[in-house]
A and B are shown apart, each in its own frame.
Chain A
Amino acid sequence: MNLTLHLTNRCNLACTYCFVPFGNLRMTADTAKRAVDFAVTQGSPTGILFYGGEPLLERDVIHQTVAHAEEIRKKTGHQFSYKITTNGLLLDEDFLKFAKSVNLTIGFSHDGPAQDDCRFFPDGSPSSQVLSDKIPLLLRYQPYAVGMSVLDASVVHKATDIIKFLRRSGFRYMTLNLNYDAPWTQADFEVLGREYEKLAKLYRNWTLDEQKFYLSPFDQKILSHIKGAAYNIDRRKMSQNQPSIAPDGTIFPGSRYVDDPAFAIGDVRTGIDEKKQTFFIEKGAIPLDVCKTCAIQSRCNYAYDMLTRQGDAFTIGISPVQCAHEKLLTPIADKLAEDLYRQDSTLFMHKHYNEMFPFLSALEDGIFKG
């Protein structure tokens, strides 16, 4: 099982697109440990994602949680892995050394040239200058840290520049996710389409040059075809197996539901209410009628499991923007993949078709020594 621990809804930034309502909630170390104990009952291995707000505001809880998990590992052999999503402001050598010692993978949120458009301090002052030393520090300790960007409608024209920034900064794993809640227009999507075409060219050139990288959303969308029918099955397994734990220990089916008590499915002290969990799983398994005839339904990231609520009624809640994005992205990603396939790009072939690629890649990088 993979757990997302929402350690706090406090944050030291005030990003315009953040979906977490600000507050003063904090998870105690005791609650975090109980969450770990609960996850262990669900089988091995256990993945723990530290989330927020800004999770590094609760550094002590992180240390105590990992220490607790490592105690369990020593006694029982239960396997754990750790991740954190952070804005990076509080990263320092001490934490990076700790992260390295327990193999805690860091996802670093940064919007590159759009950083000061959307990610600033609560008083409105920019954050990019303060973060300028953090990226090289992070990558020194974690060359495989993930650079994570959110693309707001207001900065859609900077999409390519954001990825170029991350790449030039040294990130090999890069994700670009849309802020779906922004007031996107058709004109914005035309710009987005052009930006995706430019990014596709970058992707193509990097691949033909055999540079090692991962770029979402392209890699994920290509995988949605290459994995075939298993893509949504595996995604749905993952979404069903990654509950979120709110600061007070309430269990939710995923991070997007944490601020709505109607979606609560249990508590770390008492466990999961299986009836409720099954209820949401079954609701998430029924696609909307409009999706059933869609030619790319099996590859859509939103056809299943994205629940929304109106009163007591729960249904799939894919937004029109998400729908439009899937329809925009899929042909561009497919054209890119077709080109690389026709060119017999060996890196493309192995990256996407060789199931041993992650192992071989880790071997190449000296991560896996046996």
Chain B
Amino acid sequence: MMNNKHEFDLSPMQNYTPPTYPNRNTLDRAKLRTAPRRWAKHAAVLACIGVLGFGALTGCAAPRTYPPASCEDGLHGVIAAYTQGGSHYLEARREFDVVVCAHWGGSGGGPIYVAYLTEQEALGIIRNRLCEAGICFDAPVPDYAAIAENSELEATARLALFDERTRQGIVFPATWWDDFIWWNMTHGQIEDALQQGFARRFNVSATFMQNPGESIGDYDWVWDWELDQEIATFTEDEKQEAGAILYERLNAQIDAFIAQLRTEGILPPAEEVQP
């Protein structure tokens, strides 16, 4: 209920000088190298930020930010794809631009590490590269949901990126649908059903991209005194190699999508794109 007993009018604020403190995209990430004093006495926090490193905080050049990801937040499927359904997460560490989650439990052979990009990083890379190619997914993402189902389970997918002009949408991540192989639906069948759902209900052409993941570590288990259990380990080289593989896999998907859009005439050939 609006109370009209006031002395104000609706009027725009004009000539407001934008503030000088940076936003998340323009911040010099070196500013985050120094931790608050209160963390200096906290071993677990220091250990966590110690491996964050500088690279993990550079973020991406995307002008848009997304909620942060943790092992608990929206990445169950990525873990499940590598851990045969287990769901107990030990910790999250960020190495460069990748998140490494330790997993214990499930029906697999033992604790492993899985490296993958955060949704924030990956969507930023996707968006930037597509914008360079000539299609900028700038529109607010509508809350369109499509459902694939069989007699036992139902999968709901939502758009992560959307271009209003071409009605193209991107769904991400999609690896959790690997779970459905256990229930007699192939990955392709799920994608088909969801694509039809988006097309029929919303006139959106949906493309599915996967958050690439790479299992690292050679199962050389050691005892972790803080966690009080055995964990797998991995080397610096393995971390670096995993990061490179993740970028390569994501960029391959983006390349394939761009090629498809060019074939369909939605994007002009590469030489016609103006900077």
Contact = CB atoms under 8 A, between A and B. Distances in A.
Query: Interface majority SS on A: helix, strand, loop or mixed?
Result: helix
A234 B67 contact: yes
Contacts of B22: 226, 341
A227 interface: yes
Interface string A301-317: 00000001000000001
Contacts of B158: 43
Contacts of A102: none
A230 B31 contact: no
Contacts of A327: 13
A331 B16 CA distance: 9
Interface stretch (B33-41, B182-190, B215-223): B33-41
Nearest to B5: A183
A1 to B, nearest CB: 9
A359 B49 contact: no
B39 A360 contact: yes
B68 A228 contact: no
Interface in B147-162: 154, 156, 158
Bin the interface of chain B by size: 35 or more
Contacts of A130: none
Size bin of chain A's contact surface: 35 or more
Given A228-B24, A359-B70, A364-B45, A240 B36 contact: no
Interface string B21-54: 1111101000110111111001011001100100
A323 B36 contact: no
A320 B10 contact: yes
A320 B8 contact: yes
A291 B89 CA distance: 46
A212 B42 CA distance: 15
A137 interface: no
B2 A210 contact: no
A346 B33 CA distance: 9
B9 A320 contact: yes
B143 A241 contact: yes
Interface of A: 19, 41-43, 77, 180-186, 210, 212, 225-230, 233-234, 236-237, 240-241, 281, 285, 288, 290-297, 308, 317-321, 323-324, 326-327, 330-331, 334, 337-338, 341, 344, 346-347, 349-350, 353-356, 358-360, 363-364, 370
Q: Which 8 A-B pairs have the closest CB atoms?
A: A294-B12, A320-B8, A355-B68, A295-B16, A334-B19, A341-B21, A183-B5, A181-B3
13 contacts: A42-B156, A181-B2, A210-B38, A212-B38, A225-B23, A226-B24, A227-B24, A229-B63, A321-B3, A323-B8, A349-B31, A354-B32, A360-B49
Given A225-B23, A323-B10, 16 more contacts: A43-B156, A181-B1, A185-B7, A227-B23, A237-B143, A290-B11, A294-B14, A320-B6, A323-B11, A326-B13, A341-B20, A353-B32, A354-B32, A354-B57, A359-B92, A370-B102
